[in-house]
Amino acid sequence: LSVSTVPTSPIAGQKPGTSGLRKKTKEFMSENYLANFVQSVFNTLIEMKTPVQGGTLVVSGDGRFWNPEAIQIIIKMAFAAGVSRVWCGTGGLLSTPALSAVIRARGKGFESFGGFICSASHNPGGINDDYGIKYNCENGGPSPEKMTDLMVEWTAKIAEYKICDKIPDLDLSKPITYDLGDGKSVEVFDCVEDHLAVLKTCFDFDSIRGLISHPDFSMTYDCMSGVQGPYAIKIVEGELGAAAGSCKNAVPLPDFGGPESAWHGHADPNLTYAVELVRDMGLNKEGLPIASDKPIPKFGAAADGDADRNMILSSQFFVSPSDSLAMIVANSDLIPQFKDGLKGCARSMPTSGALDIVAKKKGIECFEVPTGWKFFGNLMDSGTHYFPDKKTYTPFICGEESFGTGADHVREKDGMWAVLAWLQILAKKTEKSGKLVTCEDVANEHWKEYGRNYYARYDYEGVDKAKSEEMMKMMSDKAGSLAGQEFGGMKMKTNDIFEYVDPVDGSVSKNQGIRYIFEDGSRIIFRLSGTGVAGATVRLYLEKYEAADGSLNQHQFEVVKPLAAIALELSQLQTYTGRETPTVIT
C-alpha cells in the first residue's frame, strides 16, 4: 500500500484531559487536527515499543457526528504506521466498555495492542457541539498519564504524518473482512458480541431472566440515543427477555437527539438530563416523587453517549451513584463474577465514603484514587502485587460519583455491567424472599446496616476559566491552615490538596482537588472539570454521614445544604464566578 507523508506543524492545546482529548467538533474537523493527534499517538506507541508493526488495532466510537469520517482517516493512518489489521464494530460503533472488552478478549493469537475510541462521552455531539478521541492500551484501559504526557510532547513537535490515502473509504455497516493486500485487512464484526460474551461470564443470565419474567417486575432502559441502543436491545430485550420497547431511545443518533430531544442532546444519565426516564419513574429533577398517570416501572436505568455511565432507579426512587457502588460491593456475593470472593474495591476521591464503610466491614482492601478511570487500571492489573494469593485474576469493583461503576472484567466503567449487577442482586434477593425486591428495598436495608452518606454534587458550568483558577489558588494557598476552626457549627479536621501516589508504580498525580474534611466525617470538595471544551466547570461535592441509628430517610439535597453554605463561604464562589446557583445538581 502506498504511504503518503504529509507535512504539518504543531497545533496548540492537544492535551488529553480526564478522559481523552475533547474539543469543539469544528476544531477537530479543521485541517490536520485529527491527523496530528493520531500521529502523535502512534509516535508515542512506537517510542514505547508497542508492537504497532504487524499488530491489530481497534477503531470505533459512540456514533457521534463526524465519527464516520474520522474512523476512515484513522484506518488509513493506522496502516501507514505499520498496523496489519484494523477491527471495527458494525457501523463504526463500539461502546467504551465494549471496546475495552474487544481489546482484551477478541481474536486469540492476534490480540490487539490497543484502540481508538472516537467519543466525547457524556458531552453533547453535533457540528456545533463536542468531539473527542481517546487511546486505550493493551489491557483495555485508558492510557496512563505517563503516556498521555508523551503524546502531548509529540503534538508539540510534530512535523509530518503518514497516511495510506489511496485506500477507498470502506463500508462499515455490516460484518465483513476487507483484504487490502500487503497483509493488511479491516475486519468489521457485530458490535455487541464480544461485550456480551464477557458479560455472560460475570452474571447468571438465567436468574436475571427469572426476575424479568416475574409478574410484578417491569423495567425501562433509556439509551438517550447514544451507543447503548444496540447493546440494550440485544442483551436486555433479546437475551434477558424484557418486553419489546423496554429499551427507549435505542437508535444511536449523531447528535444524541439534538436540541429537539427532552435532554437537548445531552446524553448524560443524571436527574437533570435524563428527563424522560426520571419522569417515567415518577420523579422530579430533585429526585422527589411526583404523581404519574401511567404505571411506573419497577426498575429504570439510563446510559450516556458512549454507554460507560449508568443511572439506576426504582419506582419513585433514585439510587445515588456513590450509594450504588457501595451497595453493589455489599451484595457482591450474589454476583457470580465474585464467587471466589471480592478482593478489592476503589473509588475516586470525590465519591462518597459509603464504599469505605462496606469495605471495612467486609474486610476487603479499599483504594481512593483521583477522578478518571485511568487510575483504577493499575490496581486491577496488580493482582500479584496487592493480592498475593491471586496470581492473575483480581476480583475488583470500582466506581465514581459521576454515574460510573465497573469491575475487572474490562478496564473501563461499564453502564451495562452496572445495570446487570443490580438486576442480578434483585434477582437473587427476589428468589430468596419469594416476593419482588426493588432497589429501594436494597437501599433501605443497606442504610440500616451501614448508615447513610448523604451526598450531592453542584456543577457550575461555563464559568470564566481565569477566575475559577484564581478561586482554586486562593483555597490551595490556605491548605493545612484551617484545622480546628469552626464553620457553621462544624469543626474542620483537615483541609488539603489531594495528591495521589500510585501504590503500584509510584507515579504521583498532584493537584487532584481541594478537600475540607470535618471532625464528623462530612466533606466538601472542589475540583475543576477536565472534560469540558469551553470555559471552565467548577465541581463542588458535598457529603454528610448519618449513622445507622440516625435519620435515614431525608432528602439528600436538603441534608447537604448547610454544607453548601459553608462551601460558598470558604470558596467565595459567588464573588469569583458571579454565579448565584449551580447549573446542575446531581
Q: Which residues are catalytic?
A: 121
Residues contacting residue 472 through CB under 8 Å, at least 6 positions apart: 514, 526, 528
The entry of Co ion, ligand VG1, none near residue 18 (CB within 5 to 8 angstroms by kind) is: ligand VG1
Q: Which amino acid is at 117?
A: I
Q: Which of 62, 204, 255, 308 binds ligand VG1 (CB under 6 A)?
A: 308
Residue nearer to ligand VG1 on the CB measure, 237 or 459? 459
Q: Which stretch in 182-190, 230-238, 396-404, 434-442 sits in contact with ligand VG1 by CB under 6 A?
A: 396-404
The minimum distance between CB 458 and ligand VG1, in angstroms, equals: 12
Q: Which of 141, 404, 451, 513 binds ligand VG1 (CB under 6 A)?
A: 404
Q: Which of 237, 304, 408, 546 binds Co ion (CB under 5 A)?
A: 304
Q: Which of 40, 121, 246, 331 binds ligand VG1 (CB under 6 A)?
A: 121
**Unique residue bearing C-alpha cell 457482591:** 332
The minimum distance between CB 270 and Co ion, in angstroms, equals: 12
The entry of Co ion, ligand VG1, none near residue 248 (CB within 5 to 8 angstroms by kind) is: none
Q: Which of 309, 343, 429, 452 binds ligand VG1 (CB under 6 A)?
A: 309
Size of the residue set binding Co ion (CB under 5 A): 6
Residue nearer to ligand VG1 on the CB measure, 123 or 331? 123
Q: Which stretch in 121-129, 200-208, 255-263, 535-543 sits in contact with Co ion by CB under 5 A?
A: 121-129
Nearest to 396 by CA among 385, 306, 411: 411
- Copy the grid coordinates of residue 558: 436538603
Interaction mask 83-112, ligand VG1, x per CB under 6 A = ------------------------------
Reading across the β-sheet that carries 21-24, which strands appear in turn?
21-24, 130-136, 114-118, 56-61, 85-89, 184-189, 176-181
By CB under 6 A, residue 531 contacts ligand VG1: yes
- Residue 127 to residue 25: CA distance in whole angstroms: 6
Q: Give residues 321-350 in contact with ligand VG1 (rule: CB under 6 A).
A: 348
Q: DSSP per residue over 191-259, as a string?
A: TTHHHHHHHHHHS-HHHHHHHHTSTT--EEEE-TTSTHHHHHIIIIIIIT-PPTT-EES-S--TTTTGG
By CB under 6 A, residue 230 contacts ligand VG1: no
Which strand (E) or helix (H) includes residue 161? strand 160-163
- Residue 131 to residue 431: CA distance in whole angstroms: 45
By CB under 6 A, residue 539 contacts ligand VG1: yes
By CB under 6 A, residue 371 contacts ligand VG1: yes
The minimum distance between CB 75 and ligand VG1, in angstroms, equals: 23
- Residue 551 to residue 548: CA distance in whole angstroms: 8
- Residue 100 to residue 180: CA distance in whole angstroms: 26
- Radius of gyration (C-alpha) of the chain in whole angstroms: 23
- Residue 528 to residue 540: CA distance in whole angstroms: 9
The minimum distance between CB 457 and ligand VG1, in angstroms, equals: 8
The minimum distance between CB 196 and Co ion, in angstroms, equals: 19
By CB under 6 A, residue 282 contacts ligand VG1: no
Residue nearer to ligand VG1 on the CB measure, 203 or 373? 373
By CB under 6 A, residue 126 contacts ligand VG1: no
The minimum distance between CB 318 and ligand VG1, in angstroms, equals: 18
Residue nearer to Co ion on the CB measure, 55 or 97? 97
The minimum distance between CB 312 and ligand VG1, in angstroms, equals: 15
The minimum distance between CB 311 and ligand VG1, in angstroms, equals: 12
Q: Which stretch in 68-76, 97-105, 115-123, 350-358 sits in contact with Co ion by CB under 5 A?
A: 115-123
Residue nearer to Co ion on the CB measure, 64 or 122? 122
Helical residues (DSSP H) of 7-144, grouped into ranges:
25-29, 33-47, 67-80, 96-105
The minimum distance between CB 94 and Co ion, in angstroms, equals: 13
Residue nearer to ligand VG1 on the CB measure, 311 or 426? 311
Q: DSSP per residue over 511-575, as a string?
A: ---EEEEETTS-EEEEEE-SS-SSSEEEEEEEEEEE-TTS---S-HHHHTHHHHHHHHHHHTHHH
- Residue 397 to residue 402: CA distance in whole angstroms: 15
By CB under 6 A, residue 19 contacts ligand VG1: yes
Q: What are phi and psi of 400, to 5 degrees?
A: -135, 160
Residue nearer to ligand VG1 on the CB measure, 66 or 79? 66
CA angle 396/335/343 to nearest 5° reads 25
Residue nearer to ligand VG1 on the CB measure, 180 or 533? 533
> CA end-to-end span of the chain, whole Å?
51
By CB under 5 A, residue 371 contacts Co ion: no
Output the residue with the shortest Cβ distance to ligand VG1: 121
Give the three-state DSSP class for 38. helix
By CB under 6 A, residue 18 contacts ligand VG1: yes
By CB under 6 A, residue 144 contacts ligand VG1: no
| 238 dihedral zone (left: phi>0; alpha: psi -120 to 50; beta) | alpha
- Residue 350 to residue 15: CA distance in whole angstroms: 23
- Residue 266 to residue 272: CA distance in whole angstroms: 10
Residue nearer to Co ion on the CB measure, 70 or 81? 70
Burial class (CB in 10 A: 0-12, 13-18, 19+), 509: middle
By CB under 6 A, residue 304 contacts ligand VG1: yes
Chain contacts with ligand VG1 (rule: CB under 6 A): 18-19, 121-122, 304, 308-309, 348, 371-373, 400, 402, 404, 529-531, 539
Chain contacts with Co ion (rule: CB under 5 A): 121-122, 304, 306, 308-309
